[in-house]
Structure 1
Amino acid sequence: MPGRPAAFSRISTRSVAPADRVDLWEDYNRRALVGLTCSPYSEDGLLATQTNTGLGSLRLAGIAGNEHVIERSPRTCRAAPKDSVFATLLVSGRAVFFHGGDCFTLGAGDLVLYDTRRSYLLGFPTAMRQLLVDMPREVFAERCLPGGVPAPLVFGRGAPDEAPLLRCLETVLAGRFGRPGTGDAAAERTVLELVRSLAVLRGDGGRGGGEPGTRLLLAKEHIDRHLADPRLGPEHVANALGISTRQLGRDFRRAGPSPSRYILERRLERARQDLADPASARLTVADIAHRWGFAGQPHFTRVFRDRFGRTPGEIRPAVMGPGRADSAVVRQSSRDTL
């Protein structure tokens, strides 16, 4: 059995000659993730990168590559045993997952949940990128599904109940590779709760998002997708989640600001990003305020100053194009004093 993998590691097959890439990839995966065999299907050979990091009791992998197939055959399962459940989220590209007599086609945003003790094949006919969660089987049984995963489960962004959970999971996982080792306990809990919610969806008639932590994640995901809608408010969010506004308020109070305050903070932050972005120089402050759901510029200017200690005009880049910078600042200064 391989020793415990490093807390953070990264590999690229471009670091070796084309003839050595498959051996490098298989050896690295055997040590860092799982025993497998790999077959490239590109004239360029195997061009792939992998980043691995720990998250409490979990391991995460971010993998990108060109056309290839990986297989964990019965022989490999015996030679390199692995007692985990994998959740593999395809971020981009297409894939085919073969397990026993079943064959599933995956598209961007789909996730497959499977037991690594059983053989499988995963083929990528296009360039691909995926995020993978490696959950020790005892952790998965305790925190997600007591019975484990007897057969693979496939979840898709085309399913209304599953799509928000998948988007949340992708956001959480993608964020871990930029800051490994920070906030591990909370992030581990979030990942397991999202995986559990997805798995439970198949067994309880679609009530997989019933845990308070999951509801909060879904509420925030809904808010971020509807910030531009001026009608967005606690009632709008509660209706989307199928809960009462009182329950929504309780879920938010466990973590910090109220739903209304959270919506305002997110709108202000997105507006601040646009104001500071030279690419938005052609937009007026009123345009940006409207873009992020503010009904009027005076109200936007007031709450913006309260939040950031500066007016929207003071956030804008000093140079926004020939003849525009000074006049824009003057116009905004006069507006901010209204």
Structure 2
Amino acid sequence: MTADPAPAPAVSHVSTRSVDPADRVDFWEDYNRRALVGLTCSPYSEQGLLASQTNVSLRGLRLAEIAGNEHVIERTPRTCRALPKESVFATLLTAGEAVFFHAGGCLSVRAGDLVLYDTRRSYLFGFPSTMRQLLVDIPGEVFAERCLAGGVAAPMLFGGDSATEGVLVSTLRSVLADWARGCGSGDPARTEATVLDLVRSLAAARMGDRSEPPTRPSQLAVAQEYVVRHLSDPRLCAEQVAEAVGVSTRHLSRIFTPAGVSPSRYILEQRLAKAREQLGDPQARHLTVAEVAHRWGFASQAHFTRVFRDRFGQTPGEARPVPARSGQRRRGTPMG
């Protein structure tokens, strides 16, 4: 008897563009009050508030992708009392810049940075230009049980303070972006576990707690993200990936068991997929096959051609689009 497939995550999407400019702020505040958290919003554009939000349910977590023009959102002490919310938000800024004011000070946030904060405490998030962010709503009890028992006493900012931190944040962004775009693969429960483990790894390291090692789902996500970002490096190999993840090559093979391929095969498959995609792009016709092979980390054109034919049943040259013949008569054009 086979288990039923995991249900697709529920998705909702709203935008203020179709709302009368005079009603946009009320519309936005009311939607966020129901979907995420109670807050007040102040736009700073002559166009008014132009914002959109996509919400995805990942089991016990809520993922939101939010985009907008310049504006400020604030959760005041009064709002915290009137509209209580016991969650920890992990907000990853993917475009623009921001300032995050809280009781203990101010954080400057750049694209690529992650802010972890408690919704029970007041804050102000200001965006001076067009912005986009990925936000994970983690219920307080879930965060305490699976991330950090003591909770978040003060907001934490994660960026590139260390190579390990940068890899974890980058991996989290990759995992969340796929689901926000509606192309997340796999079981939502596995994704939920991966997200929580990545957040736990970041928060625990910041608090000096390294007692619990990352779980295999998050290690696999980190390894896959590392591979994708280093495909053009011809030296990329299983040993290099294992070192980046902080495990032995033997353990890395066990981590890749759910993927159904070995680490070396995964690297090769990703390189071949990227090369095939570029070969089929009419905009890349100026690149020779050798240049495409080099761009995706293949040591030689001969090796690239051989493994490409083995994988796809055609040579790299045959995978390229056939250019239209000069002087070829267009369909429907009369002769004479």
Q: Give the alignment's TM-score, normalised by structure 2.
A: 0.89
Q: CA RMSD in A?
A: 2.1
Q: 1:202 to 1:320 in 2, by over 3 A?
A: farther
Q: What are the residue-to-residue correspondences of 1:250-329 with 2, within 5 Å?
A: 250-319=254-323
* Aligned counterpart, 2:163: 160
Task: Kindly state the Cα deviation for residue 256 of structure 1 after the two structures are TM-superposed.
Answer: 2.1
2:62 to 43, 56, 59: 59
Matched, 1:88 2:67: no
* Aligned counterpart, 1:179: 182
Matched, 1:144 2:128: no
Q: 1:198 to 1:142 in 2, by over 3 A?
A: same
Matched, 1:40 2:43: yes
Task: Kindly state the Cα deviation for residue 253 of structure 1 after the two structures are TM-superposed.
Answer: 2.8
Q: 1:116 to 1:320 in 2, by over 3 A?
A: farther
Matched, 1:190 2:167: no
Structure 1 counterpart of 2:93, one-letter code: L
Greater mean alpha carbon deviation, residues 195-204 or residues 164-173: 195-204
User: Are 1:87 and 1:114, in contact at CA under 8 Å, matched by a contact in 2?
Assistant: yes
* Aligned counterpart, 1:17: 20
Distance 2:120 2:325 in 1: 60
Greater mean alpha carbon deviation, residues 225-234 or residues 106-115: 225-234
Q: 1:275 to 1:65 in 2, by over 3 A?
A: same
Deviations along 1:194-223, one digit per CA (max 9) or x if unpaired, are 111111111337788743333222222221
Alignment length (residue pairs): 318
Distance 2:326 2:241 in 1: 43
* Aligned counterpart, 1:124: 127
* Aligned counterpart, 2:75: 72
Structure 2 counterpart of 1:49, one-letter code: S
Q: Percent identity?
A: 64
Structure 2 counterpart of 1:142, one-letter code: E
SS of residue paired to 2:259? coil
* Aligned counterpart, 1:215: 219
Distance 1:107 1:33 in 2: 23
Task: Kindly state the Cα deviation for residue 224 of structure 1 after the two structures are TM-superposed.
Answer: 1.4
Deviations along 1:214-242, one digit per CA (max 9) or x if unpaired, are 32222222211221121111122223333
Greater mean alpha carbon deviation, residues 16-25 or residues 180-189: 180-189
Q: Give the alignment's TM-score, normalised by structure 1.
A: 0.88
1:102 to 94, 105, 122: 105
Q: 1:181 to 1:215 in 2, by over 3 A?
A: closer
Structure 2 counterpart of 1:214, one-letter code: S
SS of residue paired to 2:112? coil
Q: 1:181 to 1:78 in 2, by over 3 A?
A: farther
